[in-house]
Structure 1
């Protein structure tokens, strides 16, 4: 019997995941040969992936080398403005279109993620999954595509706002409120709750940056 080989993740996704998980941080240099060896692929798909990531402004030039990009204060502020509006729209549409099963999954995520409050890195990963689930529950493919781009760019922030003292527990309470509004099919309430959630996350990050200076 012929065995089917499992599909290989493409080079672009593997590099993107490495940036998103913090393997490569803002300012880190990415070298074709090293990436090819790490991921077990040839240099051609690595080169194409790097070009794609540069086009998306996730990588930038440092002389002849490519490094993981970083966001300055203005770029971060602009990103949060866009994220707040798009996430709010996703929550509004989720309240309108989400199936009962999708709502149940969101509720289950909030319950399970409560156990991660003391682990900011794990909670940050769970947070991304939670927000992605809301995006999908909006049932609007174009909105999901735009939010995917926003969240990829969020990976260029070296720290998570969930690492701030007490932020994890507060964020979980905010998630609970967002899901409650979606459960109630309260479109306005869901949009408002998620926008406020993003605004508080932004303020927390600004406070983190101010404390680091």
Structure 2
């Protein structure tokens, strides 16, 4: 049991570091350095790296493991899947969310307004908001699939919320999603969340195109 918990901790620690941007696409991950950084032995680190490689979050560069990157087509494919699954989660949340879950979603929208000047903090809050919708769907299999999608989202080096004005618009979109869930409007919640993800994807494409011109 202890060994399994250690393995889980090592995996989670590395995944969280990638998600937080401590390791970016192309960065090399070294067992000894990770073991020292996280204060665990090399065996659970090695097993965590193997698991991350199996999930395509890491790739091989010769004998080294590096954080994987997504090309344009992979990113587009990821957003197609994410859009549909997120929309389904919102539809189910409108049907099954408890009053307490709806209240939490509403409070998240209000509380996140103070983060508009901090894109990284807003991105973390955004992930929490979406995760709460996933949980409010009350469908464990959908939650599992969305967890996989969001792990792959960690391979995108930047957040679309860094674009000027995007944070404010994203919170307005969150507000519409929660309003539909509050009124048990499954179709409306589905469409509102799909539109939200579509706008985030469009913003990311614009940011990438501007970066390519530099």
> Would the TM-score normalized by the shorter structure come out above 0.5?
yes
1:10 Cα deviation from its structure 2 partner: 1.3
Normalised by the length of structure 2, the TM-score is 0.96
What is the CA deviation profile of residues 31-76 of structure 1, one whole-angstrom value per residue up to 9, with x for unaligned ones?
0000001111110100000000000000000000000000000000
Show the 5 A alignment for 1:164-183. 164-183=163-182
What is the CA deviation profile of residues 164-208 of structure 1, one whole-angstrom value per residue up to 9, with x for unaligned ones?
010000000000000000000000000000000000000000000
Match of 1:143 in 2: 142
2:127 corresponds to 1:131: no
Match of 1:64 in 2: 63
Gap regions ≥5 residues in structure 2? none
Number of aligned pairs? 207
SS at match of 2:170: helix
Match of 1:23 in 2: 22
Normalised by the length of structure 1, the TM-score is 0.96
Q: In structure 1, what is the Cα distance between the partners aligned to 2:32 and 2:143?
A: 33
Match of 2:104 in 1: 105
Q: In structure 2, what is the Cα distance between the partners aligned to 1:201 and 1:14?
A: 27
SS at match of 1:139: coil
SS at match of 1:118: coil
SS at match of 2:80: helix
Q: In structure 2, what is the Cα distance between the partners aligned to 1:133 and 1:60?
A: 30
2:46 corresponds to 1:47: yes
List structure 1 segments (4+ residues) > 2 angstroms apart after TM superposition: none
What is the CA deviation profile of residues 130-178 of structure 1, one whole-angstrom value per residue up to 9, with x for unaligned ones?
0000000000000000000000100000000000010000000000000
Match of 1:205 in 2: 204
Q: In structure 2, what is the Cα distance between the partners aligned to 1:121 and 1:114?
A: 13
Match of 2:93 in 1: 94
Q: In structure 2, what is the Cα distance between the partners aligned to 1:45 and 1:149?
A: 21
SS at match of 1:46: helix
Question: As a proportion of its length, which structure holds more helix?
Answer: 2
Match of 1:190 in 2: 189
Q: In structure 1, what is the Cα distance between the partners aligned to 2:34 and 2:179?
A: 44
Q: In structure 1, what is the Cα distance between the partners aligned to 2:159 and 2:185?
A: 29
